[in-house]
């Protein structure tokens, strides 16, 4: 069990670690331009991973992790200077400070397994983030959040009040300076506006192996079909239900002995594992969404 002091030391050790993520139309010279830019500022590249969809005119994706003295104070200057390089190559890009933990809002309904997994991994130091608050459309998990000293906000969904609950949620996540929203078995659809505003920053866990079992009750569907593997899917939320870019999936073997209840039990293990992995990759700036797909750098 990592203490707060231990976690603080980890953040401190990462204070000069930067992560640059770039996506742009491919052409020769991009890596050279970026690596030269970083070298001229004294950065040492620790990891870099680059992918092009097609050597002839595809899309270029890059993640560079580097060490640079006094990065926190120099970051805004570097961003301003990099904008020139970025413009030249039509880049979409961002610079993230590894030492500044991202802040999560976890949206829940009644099931606790995904929430608990995130809380535990965060405390253990395995999830490099802060859990800023939990928002529930039911009050059931308030005791869980309280146990772990995380603020819980109960925003019920009254009939006809959808717009209102969305507004309350938006206000809360703003107030808590949230970077990413995690739908941890949150059984309710968000409004298109909300989703657009948080594009590529809302992660959902679908309790089925997409695209096999879209919609409700995927485990009942899986049981009915007699599949031999069940799975779960973490994806970014888009306006079209269950169709957003897939971040991670995993499966477990099942057989004729398992009833729907067993599949749900086994499914809970997959769901929390897959969701936690997707959230970890997001907060470590490993994911670039492009169209309806993701590039996940290892």
Please give the structure tokens belonging to residue 49: 């991973």
202 near a copy of itself (CB under 8 A): no
User: Out of 15, 24, 26, 103, which residue is the one contacting a copy of itself (CB under 8 A)?
Assistant: 26
Judged by CB under 8 A, the stretch of 71-79, 82-90, 98-106, 242-250 that binds a copy of itself is 242-250
- Is residue 78 a contact point for a copy of itself (CB under 8 A)? no
Interface with a copy of itself by CB under 8 A: which range of 72-80, 188-196, 199-207, 248-256? 248-256
**Options 75-83, 158-166, 199-207, 250-258: segment touching a copy of itself (CB under 8 A):** 250-258
Q: Looking at 242, 250, 255, 285, which residue is catalytic?
A: 242
**Considering only residues 268, 275, 281, 284, which one is a binding residue for a copy of itself as defined by CB under 8 A?**
268
Rounded Cα–Cα distance for residues 118 and 150 (Å): 12
Question: Shortest Cβ distance from residue 203 to a copy of itself (Å)?
Answer: 14
Instruction: Determine, following the binding rule CB under 8 A, whether residue 81 of this chain makes contact with a copy of itself.
Output: no
Count of other CB atoms within 10 angstroms of residue 208: 25
Cβ contact 68:120 at 8 Å: no
Does the protein bind a copy of itself through residue 42 (CB under 8 A)? yes
Q: Compute the residue count for the chain.
A: 298
Applying CB under 8 A, the span of 75-83, 159-167, 175-183, 266-274 interacting with a copy of itself comes to 266-274
Closer to a copy of itself by Cβ: residue 156 or 211: 211
Q: Phi first, then psi: what are they for 247, rounded to 5°?
A: -100, -45
Task: Tell which one of 8, 12, 49, 193 touches a copy of itself (CB under 8 A).
Answer: 49
Q: Is 242 a catalytic residue?
A: yes
Closer to a copy of itself by CB, 165 or 294: give it: 294
215 in contact with a copy of itself (CB under 8 A): no
Interface with a copy of itself, residue 238, by CB under 8 A: no
- Can you give the three-state secondary structure of the chain, one letter per residue? CCCHHHHHHHHHHCCCEEEEEEEEECCCCHHHHHHHHHHHCCCEEEEEEEEECCCCCCEEEEEEEEECCCHHHHHHHHHHHHHHHHHHCCCEEEEEECCCCEEEEEEECCCCHHHHHHHHHHHHCCCCEEEEEEEECCCCCHHHHHHCCCCEEECCCCCCCHHHHHHHHHHHHHHCCCCEEEECCCCCCCCHHHHHHCCCCEEEEECCCCCCCCCCCHHHHHHHHCCCEEEEEEEECCCCCCCCCEEEEEEEECCCCCCHHHHHHHHHHHHHHHHHHHHHHHHCCCEEEECCEEEECC
**Binding characters for a copy of itself, 111-130, by CB under 8 A (x = yes):** xxx--x---x---xxx----
- Is residue 154 within the footprint of a copy of itself (CB under 8 A)? no
Cite the active site residues.
242
Could you list the residues that contact a copy of itself (CB under 8 A)?
1, 26-32, 35-36, 38-39, 42-52, 55, 61, 67, 110-113, 116, 120, 124-126, 140-141, 144, 147, 209-213, 225-229, 231, 245-251, 255-257, 265, 268-269, 273, 292-296, 298
């Amino acid at each position: 069990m990592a203490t707060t002091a231990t976690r603080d030391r980890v953040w401190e050790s990462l204070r000069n670690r930067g992560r640059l993520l770039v996506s742009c139309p491919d052409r020769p010279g991009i890596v050279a331009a970026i690596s030269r830019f970083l070298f001229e500022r004294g950065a040492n590249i620790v990891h870099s991973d680059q992918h092009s969809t097609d050597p002839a005119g595809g899309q270029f994706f890059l993640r560079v992790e580097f060490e640079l003295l006094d990065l926190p104070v120099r970051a805004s200057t570097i961003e301003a200077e990099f904008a020139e390089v970025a413009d030249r190559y039509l880049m979409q890009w961002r610079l993230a400070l590894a030492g500044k933990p991202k802040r999560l809002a976890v949206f829940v309904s009644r099931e606790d397994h995904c929430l608990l997994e995130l809380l535990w991994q965060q405390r253990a130091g395995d999830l490099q983030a802060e859990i800023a608050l939990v928002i529930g459309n039911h009050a059931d998990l308030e005791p869980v959040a309280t146990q772990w000293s995380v603020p819980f906000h109960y925003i019920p969904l009254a009939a006809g009040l959808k717009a209102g609950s969305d507004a309350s949620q938006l206000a809360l996540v703003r107030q808590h300076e949230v970077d990413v929203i995690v739908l941890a078995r949150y059984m309710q659809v968000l409004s298109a506006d909300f989703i657009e505003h948080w594009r590529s920053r809302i992660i959902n866990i679908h309790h089925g192996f997409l695209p096999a079992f879209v919609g409700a009750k995927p485990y009942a569907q899986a049981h009915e079909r007699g599949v031999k593997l069940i799975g779960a899917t973490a994806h970014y939320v888009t306006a079209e239900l269950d169709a957003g870019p897939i971040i991670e999936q995993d499966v477990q073997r099942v057989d004729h002995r398992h009833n729907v209840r067993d599949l749900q039990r086994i499914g809970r293990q997959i769901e929390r594992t897959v969701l936690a992995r997707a959230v970890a990759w997001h907060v470590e700036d490993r994911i670039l969404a492009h169209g309806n797909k993701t590039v996940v750098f290892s």
